[in-house]
């Protein structure tokens, strides 16, 4: 018996039977079930995820890949023994890696997603799952046939609020839900557009693999502003729908068991800071769902006023659920239809989303935010953006038939 099959055998024996496993075993769990992890794209979010994964017991962060030398040096400062690569494929060649965390810019997610699964590794991929609908379909199909544990970085899926809200809806506390209103409000300092980051002085053509960043986008000379501020440009980004609507719609879809929208409409524009960005900073989205659901979801977002913060309100005939990111859900009954109902605050504790992925690498159970919710939420994001770009209401069928343009 090879060392790997022995470990697999011991693991399956410990779990009782292989039949209880949702996924085939991890590739190479180390001694004492130590999980060996690599990362692709360790910029702003990647640095947070690096700290998060280091805090999960019995995990070893062994490698990272990033096209920008500064990111590799920063990672070495935090984890001196880490192996660093410019090309993510060299990281994926490593035989002794169990899982890979991807936190690259949106337009490269699908590439990193597919390459990671093809290399037989479990995957944690940041949201939005992909830049386009065809990519989302490809990634979902790959995830489903891979037997790998895939967690999408939709951390509200691990929140206690999701568990409580789902239960309240299932128990009939909310009655018939016809509308969910959700919103995200931020303010921006005058003269400094939301998301704009300074370009470090060492961000030069010598220190960056620009072609790897472009990932097949039309070629052009090295542009450090676009490398650092990719979020502002459609070619690389999905704007604020991909950055924030995605978290909220994934939560709404999972508590109400909603499929992809049947149609989307999005209006808005670059109204806060006209700083050359392409993606809108002021947004109103309307999402319709198939007829049997009789429900409309609205999402409104501004970067010019933060007074109302961020939240979701599930409006039902028998009650209301309000949810603010990273807070417990709260419930209020509609006294006309549910006179016996009482105001309730959710009690379920949040799970650590990263630790949930690591646990699932060991247990082979489905994680809290699998590719399926990654795909559904990505559909809503892409349909909304498509509607904005085409300046018309767009149906699911039209969105699926559309060939994305850069």
**Is residue 28 at the binding interface for ligand NAD, with CB under 6 A as the rule?**
no
Do the beta carbons of residue 250 and residue 376 sit within 8 Å? yes
Interface residue with ligand NAD, options 25, 38, 41, 316 (CB under 6 A): 41
Tell me how far, at minimum, the Cβ of 295 lies from ligand NAD, in Å: 26
**Is residue 66 at the binding interface for ligand NAD, with CB under 6 A as the rule?**
yes
**Is residue 338 at the binding interface for ligand NAD, with CB under 6 A as the rule?**
no
Number of residues that bind ligand NAD (CB under 6 A): 26
319-323 and 310-316 strand pairing: antiparallel
- Determine the angle formed by the axes of helices 246-256 and 160-170, rounding to 10 degrees: 40
**Is residue 123 at the binding interface for ligand NAD, with CB under 6 A as the rule?**
no
Residue numbers 69-98 binding ligand NAD by CB under 6 A: 71, 88
Tell me how far, at minimum, the Cβ of 303 lies from ligand NAD, in Å: 16
Interface residue with ligand NAD, options 35, 50, 101, 106 (CB under 6 A): 106
Tell me how far, at minimum, the Cβ of 334 lies from ligand NAD, in Å: 33
**Is residue 126 at the binding interface for ligand NAD, with CB under 6 A as the rule?**
yes
CA distances from 97 to 30, 36, 51, 67, 364 (A): 9, 5, 18, 20, 16
For residue 128, cis peptide bond before it (omega within 30 degrees of 0):
yes
- Largest CA-CA distance found in the chain, in angstroms, rounded: 69
- Region binding ligand NAD by CB under 6 A among candidate stretches 13-21, 62-70, 257-265, 287-295: 62-70
Closest alpha carbon to 37 in 297, 294, 317, 355:
355
Q: Give SS3 for 175.
A: coil
Residue 230 CB-half CA count within 13 A: 23
Q: Give SS3 for 61.
A: strand
Looking at the Cβ atoms of 105 and 319, the one nearer to ligand NAD is 105
Give the residue nearest to ligand NAD (CB): 43
**Is residue 65 at the binding interface for ligand NAD, with CB under 6 A as the rule?**
yes
**Is residue 195 at the binding interface for ligand NAD, with CB under 6 A as the rule?**
no
**Is residue 243 at the binding interface for ligand NAD, with CB under 6 A as the rule?**
yes
Looking at the Cβ atoms of 318 and 327, the one nearer to ligand NAD is 327
H or E element, residue 186: none
Tell me how far, at minimum, the Cβ of 216 lies from ligand NAD, in Å: 10
What letter does residue 351 receive in the DSSP assignment? Answer: P
Q: What CA–CA distance (Å, rounded) separates 73 from 116?
A: 23
**Is residue 381 at the binding interface for ligand NAD, with CB under 6 A as the rule?**
no
**Is residue 104 at the binding interface for ligand NAD, with CB under 6 A as the rule?**
yes
Tokens of residue 343, six digits: 């105001």
Tell me how far, at minimum, the Cβ of 212 lies from ligand NAD, in Å: 4
**Is residue 312 at the binding interface for ligand NAD, with CB under 6 A as the rule?**
no
Residue numbers 142-161 binding ligand NAD by CB under 6 A: 153, 155
Residue numbers 154-193 binding ligand NAD by CB under 6 A: 155
Burial of 342 (0-12, 13-18, 19+ CB in 10 A): exposed
Residue 82 CB-half CA count within 13 A: 27
Q: What CA–CA distance (Å, rounded) separates 229 from 231?
A: 5
The binding site for ligand NAD (CB under 6 A) comprises 40-46, 65-68, 71, 88, 103-106, 108, 126-127, 153, 155, 212-213, 215, 243
């Amino acid at each position: 018996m090879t060392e790997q099959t022995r470990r697999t055998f011991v693991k399956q024996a410990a779990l009782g039977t292989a039949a209880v496993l949702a996924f085939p075993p991890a590739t190479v769990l180390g001694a004492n079930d130590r999980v060996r992890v690599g990362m692709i794209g360790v910029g702003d979010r990647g640095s947070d995820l690096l700290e998060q994964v280091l805090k999960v017991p019995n995990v070893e962060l062994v490698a990272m890949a990033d096209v920008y030398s500064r990111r590799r040096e920063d990672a070495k400062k935090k984890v001196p023994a880490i192996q660093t690569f410019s090309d993510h494929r060299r990281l994926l060649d490593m035989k002794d890696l169990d899982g890979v965390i991807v936190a690259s810019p949106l337009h490269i997610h699908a590439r990193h997603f597919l390459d990671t699964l093809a290399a037989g590794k479990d995957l944690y991929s940041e949201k939005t799952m992909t830049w386009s609908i065809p990519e989302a379909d490809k990634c979902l199909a790959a995830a489903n046939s891979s037997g790998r544990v895939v967690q999408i970085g939709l951390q509200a899926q691990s929140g206690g609020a999701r568990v409580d809200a789902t239960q309240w809806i299932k128990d009939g506390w909310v009655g018939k839900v016809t509308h969910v209103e959700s919103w995200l409000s931020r303010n921006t300092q005058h003269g400094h557009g939301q998301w704009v980051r300074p370009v470090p002085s060492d961000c030069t053509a010598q220190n960056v693999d620009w072609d790897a960043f472009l990932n097949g986008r039309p070629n052009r000379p090295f542009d450090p502003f676009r490398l650092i501020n990719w979020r502002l440009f459609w070619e690389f980004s999905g704007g604020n729908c991909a950055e924030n609507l995605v978290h909220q719609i994934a939560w709404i879809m999972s508590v109400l068991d909603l499929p992809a929208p049947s149609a989307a409409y999005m209006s808005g524009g670059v109204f806060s800071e006209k700083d050359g960005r392409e993606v809108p900073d002021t947004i109103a989205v309307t999402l319709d769902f198939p007829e049997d659901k009789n429900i409309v979801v609205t999402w409104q977002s501004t970067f010019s006023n933060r007074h109302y913060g961020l939240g979701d309100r599930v409006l039902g005939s028998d009650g209301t659920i309000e949810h603010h990111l990273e807070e417990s859900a709260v419930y209020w009954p509609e006294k006309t239809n549910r006179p016996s109902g009482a105001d309730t605050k959710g009690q379920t504790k949040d799970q650590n989303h990263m630790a949930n992925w690591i646990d699932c690498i060991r247990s082979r159970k489905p994680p809290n935010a699998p590719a399926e919710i990654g795909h559904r939420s990505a559909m809503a994001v892409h349909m909304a953006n498509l509607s904005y770009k085409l300046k018309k209401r767009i149906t699911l069928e039209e969105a699926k038939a559309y060939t994305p343009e850069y």
